[in-house]
Amino acid sequence: MSEHDPQQETESEDAGLERNSHTFLLFNVMPSWLVSFIVHTLLIIVLAFAYWTIPGKQKVGLVAGEAAEDISEMDELSFDSLEDSETFDNLETENTNETELEEVVEDLVIEEEFVEDTVTDALSETIESSAIDSQVLELSGATQGPAGQITGRSSAKARRSLVRKNGGSDASENAVKLAMDWIAKHQLKNGSWSFDHRVGPDPAERASPNPGEFRNSTRAATAMSLLVFLGAGQTHVEGDYKEVVEAGLAYLLKSGKRTSEGLSYYEDDGGLYNHGLVAIAICEAFAMTDDPRLAPAAQDVIRYIEFCQDPIGGGWRYEPKQAGDTSAVGWQVMALKSALMCGIEVDRQVLRKARRFLDFVSTESGTFYGYTHPVDERRKGVTSVGLLSQMYLGWTRENDALKSGVSWLGQRGPTIGNWKRGQSVPEDAKSKFKCGMYYNYYATQVMHQFGGENWDAWNLEMRDFLIATQSMQGPAKGSWYYQNMDETGYRCGGRLYATTLAAMTLEVYYRYLPLYDEKKNAEVEFELD
């Protein structure tokens, strides 16, 4: 990585020209001792100047014990009064009883007027001093409204129409509203969320069971929470949750790490998975609002994804340049797609390498997918991730492997335990179903994008199961959790993680417009072939 300072380099060149013009004076008129004195004095001054102006080496390989510089003073936005936004990141990860949690909360110093005043100030600063490439704003189409595929969620009227058309219901929309209410109640005063939803003030409001273990993954928790609001058309510009979204975005913009290769949201618990989630949230917010104040972060989170790609295999995993896994690749591909929706330029070579990885881990010509390598065992979760990624990377509806994969997923249906459609569920039994929401979330998108009879059957089961098992009493009202989950993410992310995935699954009717319709073939944004 090059670490030269362009401004300093220019000054050095100018100084060189000036020295050349006075060569005769220095070496032919002045005595030698005076020349030596001047030269050494200038050398000392130059070295001192360089010491104070050349930035230290940025660390990009973010592993234990290493951290890039904190963006405490971003050029584009002012966050002077958000100095407490990292407070919750430093909490202990070990289990804490209720008394200890109350003591932790009492010790936290948080500005009470943060949400009301500070966040508005943070997002109202101009970007005149930003180093952002001016082409980004031109590419964003700032006067053209929300970008293509997310137009369906841009207005209440459009959402209602798509809910009716694509298989949603008043009950599914009410479930999304209740989920947003629950998530909003668990936002911290600094704008963030924690997977351990017990952390924070108002313990009575945070008494829902099943907290997550990843208390230090506040960026990922914040991104997943924001995606629920954004998916329902709620932004920092308009909607019933403007202040909530505004505070969450301000926290993300404040908490990133500036590196020489872009803006990083890497966290020890989750690594680049977390970065991908944040990138999706920032890019979607930019795409939905065309707010140029989000442009610098939207550009730089994508730059970091491009940098972190495994240069050989084409994937992503936990660490930069690490050989990939299909799950992490799915989040990064979604982030790259979100970037294109908001006009951010994406390196096509990065997309080609991503497909190279997917082709490598697939079997039967791309019908099934493994995690880090091709396997004989057919796995529902990573297969749904692989198929959706291929759809976004340009596969058409006529692709034989896609048809086979959709048919196979349709035969297996959602993972909803032994629940039967039409079955009512007592409140105390709702969390006891064995439900794989990670698989359900991705597979629902695959089935919806492909459409047809498989989607109709899938949707009826998935939609009604989520409606029937949403908590409807006490502090947990509006949330989901499934006790017997077979995926590690639930244990780490807890009720907040399960709730965000369930809510986004019920937003599928309008979250992204279908890639394929009856009038035209794929609206392919990743033209790789």
User: Distances in Å between the alpha carbon of 190 and those of 126, 252, 384?
Assistant: 22, 10, 35
pLDDT tens figures, 156-170: 888 999 999 999 999
- Residues 146 and 307: their CA atoms lie apart, in Å, by 28
Query: Token pair 């939609």 is at which residue?
Result: 463
pLDDT tens figures, 24-43: 333 333 445 554 555 455 55
More reliable by pLDDT, 66 or 162? 162
Strands in 265-397 per DSSP E: 362-363, 368-369
Rounded mean pLDDT of the chain? 77
Quote the Cα angle for 142-145-148, to 5°: 110
| The pLDDT of residue 485 | 60
**Mean pLDDT, range 148-154, rounded to an integer:** 66
- Residues 359 and 93: their CA atoms lie apart, in Å, by 38
Per residue, the 3-state secondary structure of 280-336, as one string, reads: HHHHHHHHHHCCHHHHHHHHHHHHHHHHHCCCCCCCCCCCCCCCCCHHHHHHHHHHH
Q: Where are the alpha helices (DSSP H) in 133-257?
A: 134-139, 156-166, 170-185, 218-231, 242-255
| The pLDDT of residue 515 | 82
Check whether 93 has a pLDDT greater than 90: no
User: Distances in Å between the alpha carbon of 203 and those of 85, 200, 208, 384?
Assistant: 20, 7, 10, 38
| The pLDDT of residue 96 | 41
| The pLDDT of residue 519 | 42
Band of pLDDT at residue 516, cut at 50, 70 and 90: confident
- Residues 314 and 354: their CA atoms lie apart, in Å, by 5
**Which of 116-130, 139-153, 424-438 has the lowest average pLDDT?**
116-130
Residue 123 has a CB neighbour count (10 Å cut-off) of 19
Check whether 75 has a pLDDT greater than 90: no
Amino acid at 178: L
User: Roughly how many angstroms between the first and final C-alpha of the chain, as a whole number?
Assistant: 32
Q: Of all residues in the chain, what percent carry a pLDDT higher than 70?
A: 67
Longest dimension (CA), the chain: 101
| The pLDDT of residue 304 | 98
Closest CA to 127 of 77, 164, 167, 175: 77
Closest CA to 109 of 128, 95, 88: 88
Residue 528: in which H helix or E strand, if any?
none
Q: Tokens standing for 438?
A: 């990670």
For 363, list phi and psi in degrees, rounded to 5. Answer: -130, 165
Check whether 449 has a pLDDT greater than 60: yes
Q: Tokens standing for 425?
A: 């569920």
More reliable by pLDDT, 10 or 180? 180
Q: Which residues of 9-28 are buried (b: 16+ CB within 10 A; e: fewer)?
A: eeeeeeeeeeeeeeeeeeee
Residue 58 has a CB neighbour count (10 Å cut-off) of 15
For residue 306, what are the contacts with CB-CB under 8 A and spacing of at least 6? 262, 346, 347, 350
Q: Where are the alpha helices (DSSP H) in 148-209?
A: 156-166, 170-185
Residue 287: in which H helix or E strand, if any?
helix 272-289
The CATH number for 78-93+115-511, chosen from 1.50.10.20, 3.40.50.970, 3.30.465.10, 3.40.190.10, is 1.50.10.20
| The pLDDT of residue 26 | 32
| The pLDDT of residue 229 | 98
Q: Is 526 helix (H, G, I), strand (E, B) or coil?
A: coil
| The pLDDT of residue 325 | 97
| The pLDDT of residue 155 | 81
**Which of 139-143, 209-213, 465-469, 511-515 has the lowest average pLDDT?**
139-143
| The pLDDT of residue 468 | 97
**Mean pLDDT, range 254-282, rounded to an integer:** 96
pLDDT tens figures, 294-314: 999 999 999 999 999 999 999
Check whether 86 has a pLDDT greater than 70: no
Distance of CA 202 to the CA centre of its chain: 28
pLDDT tens figures, 369-405: 999 999 999 999 999 999 999 999 999 999 999 999 9
| The pLDDT of residue 143 | 29
More reliable by pLDDT, 126 or 430? 430
Check whether 100 has a pLDDT greater than 90: no
| The pLDDT of residue 486 | 55
| The pLDDT of residue 41 | 59
Q: Is 16 helix (H, G, I), strand (E, B) or coil?
A: helix
Query: Token pair 């005769």 is at which residue?
Result: 24
| The pLDDT of residue 391 | 97
